[in-house]
Amino acid sequence: MNAAIADIASEKLVHTGTPVQSSPSRAPRSFTKYGELVVLGYNGHLPSGDKGRRKSKFILHKRQTGNGVKPFRKHIVKNPHSAKAVQDLHQHSVTYTLSRNQAVIVEYKHDGDTDMFQIGRSSETPIDFVVMDTIPGNERLATDNITQSTISRFSCRIVVDRDPPYTARIYAAGFDSGKNIFLGEKAVKWYLGEQIDGLTTNGVFIMKPHGGFNAIASPGVWREISVGGAVYPLRESRSAPLKSNQITEEDNILYDGTLIDLCGATLLWRSAMGLVASPSEHEFENLVETINAGRPQCPVGLMTLVLPSKGTLGAADKQPYVYLKCGHVHGQHEWGQKDDSRTCPLCLMDGPFIKLKMGCELSVYVDSDLPTHCFNPCGHMSSKNTAKYWSQVPVPHGCQGFQTVCPFCATPLLDPPFIKLIFQDNTE
C-alpha cells in the first residue's frame, strides 16, 4: 500500500475515531493512517464515554518522527536492577531473569524507520491506548467495575514501518516509564545459544483470518506471541510454565482483520487499506434507509417501524423488536405474552421477544451488504456475512476456554448464533 492510498483511507474513515495522541511527546499527528484497533464489545463507544487514551477505538497515525526501537546488544549481569542499561531513563531494555543471581539484559536502540505504539491497562505516559477488561453486554447492568483485572499494565507493543506498505508487527509486553521490560524468574523464557526470548504471564494471543477480512473470510488459528515477536502454539493454559516449539513459518505481522487477545479484552486490527472496503457512516446510513424505505410494519399494531442507523430508536412506538425463534419483526405489543416467553402472532412459535439494536461499529463488518440479520440473544443487527463470520470466531475466555460472542456487545452467542430478520414490508 502506498502513501497516497493510506491518505485516501484516512480521509474516508475520518469518522472512525479521534486522532492518536503520540506518547510521550503528544506531537501533532500526521495525515497518514496506518490502521486502527477496535475493542470488541462496545459498538462504537465505551458505556461511560470515550475519554483521553481510554476509548473503544484507537487510530494509529504516522508520527512526526519515528520513535521505534530495535534490539542492539545483550549481556549477562548478576544484579539487573543496578545495571546501567536498566537505570538509564533514555535506554530501552528487556531483562530476562534466569535465576536470583543471573539475568540477561537486551538493550534496544532507536529506530527512526519505525513508529511504536504501546497498549495496556496502565494509564502511565508510555501507554498510547489504555485497555480495560471487557464486561459482556448482558452483565453490564449488574457489574460496573472490574475488581481484579487480568490485563497486563504493559500488555504489548505494535511497531509499524514508516514507509509503504506500512507493515505492522506485534510484540508481547510493553516498556514501562523507565523504558524497561522485566521478565521475572517465574516467567516462561529460554536462552539457547544466541537466542533469548520469553512469554508474558497471561500471554498475548493473535488470530489471523483465512482469506483476508471479507465476505468469504473464515477464522484462523490462535497463536501466542513472544516478547521478541516469535510465534508459538497456545500453552495448555494461559499461565502454564511450558512452551511448545516455535512456528517458524508464521510471523507476527498484523494483517487486516487480525484479532489480538490480551486476557480480558480482545482487539480487532483493521489496516487503512482494508478499511477502504468497509462501509463509511454515510454508506451505512443509506443501507439502513433502503430497508426503511420499504416501510416495514408491525403486523399487530400496524404502525410503521423505523430501523435506527445508530443504536436504538428514540421513538418507542416505531422501535422494531424481533422474535428470536422465527425472525419475525414487530413493534412493541402485548399479544401472546407469557411468563418467560412470547408467542409470535404470525407463526405461533414461542420464544424470546427482544429489541433490535443496530451494530454501529462499522470496522467489524466484513462487507457492505444490508443489515438483514441479528445476533442471538442480544439483537444487534448486521449483514449476513458479518453475522456468519463472527458466529464462527472462537474468542478466548478465561484461562483456557473459548466462546463465540457478538462483536458489538461481547454477549456470548446462543444456538442458533444469528437469525434472518423477516420484515412485513413491500418485499414480502
Contact by Cβ (8 Å): 390, 371: no
Q: How far is CA 368 from CA 216, 251, 283, 295, 417, in A?
A: 13, 30, 8, 21, 20
Residues of the chain with pLDDT under 70: 1-30, 48-51, 85, 141-147, 311-316, 335-336, 338-340, 426-428
pLDDT in tens, 345-377: 989 999 999 999 999 999 999 999 999 999 999
CA angle 311, 313, 319 (to 5 degrees): 120
pTM across the whole model: 0.89
| Angstrom distance (rounded) from CA 115 to CA 126 | 13
Closest-CA residue to 303 (of 428, 160, 425, 128): 425
pLDDT in tens, 125-159: 999 999 999 988 877 765 556 567 899 999 999 99
Q: How far apart are the first and last CA of the chain?
A: 44
- Residues 391, 9, 208: CA angle, nearest 5 degrees: 35
Which residues lie closer than 8 Å to 147 by C-beta, 6 or more apart? Answer: none
The grid coordinates of residue 153 equal 499494565
Amino acid letter for position 235: R
The three cell numbers locating residue 247: 512456528
pLDDT at 88: 80
Segments making up each domain of the chain, as ranges: 3-64+118-275, 281-420
In this prediction, residue 21 carries a pLDDT of 37
Question: What does the alpha-carbon distance between residue 351 and residue 288 come to, in Å, rounded to a whole number?
Answer: 26
Q: What angle do CA 428, 374, 317 make, to 5 degrees?
A: 70
Q: Is the peptide bond before 377 cis (omega within 30 degrees of 0)?
A: yes
174: nearest Cα among 243, 227, 111: 227
- Label each residue of the chain as H, E or C: CCHHHHHHHHHHCHHHCCCCCECCCCECCCCCEEEEEEECCCCCCCCCCCECCECCEEEEECCCCCCEEEEEEEEEECCHHHCHHHHCCCCEEEEEEEECCEEEEEEEEEECCEEEEEEECCCCCCCCEECCCCCCHHHCCCCCCCCCCCCCCCCEEEEEECCCCCCEEEEECCCCCCCEEEECCCCEEEEECCEEEEECCCCEEEECCECCCCCCCECCCEEEECCCCCEECCCCCCCCCCCCCCCCCCCCECCCCCEEECCCCEEEEEEHHHHCCCCCHHHHHHHHHHHHCCCCECCCCCCECCCCCCECCCCHHHCCEEECCCCEEECCCCCCECCCCEECCCCCCEECEEECEECCCHHHCCCCCCCCEEECCCCEEECHHHHHHHCCCCEEECCCEEECECCCCCCECCCCCEEECECCCCCC
Residue whose grid cell is 510493553: 174
Query: Which has the closest alpha carbon to 188: 146, 154, 125, 237?
Result: 237
